[in-house]
Homo-oligomer: A and B are copies of this chain.
Amino acid sequence: MTIAEIAKLAGVSSAAVSRYLNNGYISDEKKQKIKQVIEQTGYRPSLQAQTLRTKKSKLIGIVLPKINSETISRIVAGISLILSEQGFQILLANTENSVEKELEYLSVFQNNNVEGIIFIATLLRKEHEKIIKQIGVPVVVVGQKVNYTSCIYHNDFLASKELTEIMICNGRKQIAYIGVTTKDKAAGLERKKGYLEALKSYHIAAEQDIMTESDFSMEAGYDAMKKLFESGKKIDGIFCATDFIAIGAMKYLKEKKVNIPNDIQIVGIGHTKLSSIITPTLTTAHFYYKTSGQDAAEMLLTLLKEEKKVIKEIKLGFEIIEQESTQNNK
């Protein structure tokens, strides 16, 4: 079904049908006739043809590193909620942590004439900046702070500091660190800084040899813990950059019959479902992931409406979830 066929059936020009669809001048008489024909045929205009003519695709691209991740899928749920309310469609690119694919999709999306892009990122490189700057449509980065485009991120620094301080206040002095690569500014660098700042403000010396790096998986947390443990260093607390790392570490400690929280206290970040189910439950920070997705979508839609694109930054707060893993023994 095309607009021309509808026009013929209704005995009008296709321009009239188009006006009917877009609230242009049209007499009541023809309006009725066209309405009737459209309902009968179930006609729906081709979005491609519309986009070609109007340059409004009603498409928003989302680039993300891994869809089957609890935090990321929550962000997407938030984005989707807002966009669907506003009649936008989502083009999804799952890049599987490949920088090449990220860059590739950022430009594939241009071919699709997306009106804007939401980029959920872990590592951001010079190439990202370059391509984002020249991309022609608004880009909102979620989860990382950047200065060359609008972004929305969490207060990783403060959350890490406060979590570490909980253990310090509980009398812990030998607090180890298991983090992710500092190339990841948010989950890597900022969280490490927060941890270090907490130590510093309590005049505790940071010790390089109880600070280690893993990746985002439980297995890596397990391995990192194993290495720490086998090094023989005295440890009475562990700051982990994510819940998963913490849970991996806890698994190892349980195997070694180390008591949590009596012997070692431990914290994570993310407030994943697991954190409240594992025994003992894990002290962590709740980040508003779904909200950050909603905010990102709203931010993008605002950018689309405004004529001059002002770069904006939103820093979201968090909530400390104190659970058993940092409960002081009485």
Interface: A44 (CB within 8 A):
yes
> Beyond the given A68-B74, A90-B91, could you list 10 further A-B residue pairs with CB under 8 A, ordered by the A residue number?
A48-B49, A48-B57, A84-B93, A91-B91, A247-B277, A273-B274, A274-B274, A274-B277, A277-B277, A277-B278
Chain A count of residues within 8 A CB distance of the other chain: 45
Q: Which residue of B lies closest to A44 (CB)?
A: B111
With both chains docked as a complex, state the minimum distance between the C-beta of A284 and any C-beta of chain B, in angstroms. Answer: 14
Expressed in whole angstroms, the Cα–Cα distance for A90 and B101 within the complex equals: 15
Query: Which residues of chain A from 74 to 91 have a CB within 8 Å of any chain B CB?
Result: 74, 76-77, 80-81, 84, 89-91
Please determine whether B52 and A49 come into contact, CB atoms closer than 8 angstroms: yes
- With contacts A68-B70, A90-B91 taken as known, whether A112 is within 8 angstroms of B77 at the C-beta atoms is no
User: Are A110 and B68 in contact (CB-based, < 8 A)?
Assistant: no
Contacting residues, chain B, for A96 (C-beta < 8 A):
81
- Give chain A interface residues in 168-192, CB to chain B under 8 Å: none
Q: Is the CB of A46 within 8 A of B94?
A: no
Contact between chains at A48 and B45 (CB < 8 Å)? no
Contacting A108 at CB < 8 Å: which of B68, B81, B89?
B89
Once A89-B91, A91-B89, A92-B80 are accepted as A-B contacts, the answer to whether A113 and B48 lie under 8 Å apart by CB is: yes
Q: How far is it, in angstroms, between the C-alpha of A245 and the C-alpha of B73 when the chains are bound?
A: 21
Report A107-121 CB contacts with B as 1/0, cut-off 8 Å.
110111100000000
* Total identical chains: 2
Q: Which residue of B lies closest to A248 (CB)?
A: B277
> How far, in whole Å, are A27 and B265 apart by their CA atoms in the complex?
72
Query: Are A77 and B89 in contact, CB atoms less than 8 angstroms apart?
Result: no
- Mark interface residues in A29-70 (1 if CB within 8 Å of B CB, else 0): 000000000000000111111011000010000100011111
State in angstroms the CA–CA spacing of A68 and B81 once bound together.
Answer: 12
Residues in B with CB closer than 8 Å to A101 are 84
Give the shortest distance, in Å, between A266 (CB) and chain B (any CB): 14
Judged by a CB distance under 8 angstroms, whether A279 is at the interface is yes
For window 262-308 of A, CB contacts with B under 8 Å fall at 273-274, 277-279, 290
A95 to B, closest residue via Cβ: B84
How far apart are A259's CB and chain B's nearest CB, in angstroms? 14
| Beta-carbon contact of A77 and B67 below 8 Å | yes
- Residue pair A66, B77 in contact (C-beta under 8 Å): yes
How far, in angstroms, from A110 to B220 measured CA to CA in the complex? 44
* Contact among B80, B113, B251, B277 for A47, CB-based, below 8 A: B113
In the assembled complex, how far is the CB of residue A260 from the closest CB belonging to chain B, in whole angstroms? Answer: 12
> Are A84 and B94 interface neighbours, CB within 8 A?
yes
Most chain B CB neighbours (cut-off 10 Å) among A47, A74, A110, A251: A47
Give the distance to chain B from A70, nearest Cβ to Cβ, in Å. 7
B80 and A94 form a contact (CB under 8 A) = yes
B residues less than 8 Å from A84 (CB atoms): 93-94, 101
In whole Å, how far is A46's beta carbon from the nearest beta carbon of chain B? 7
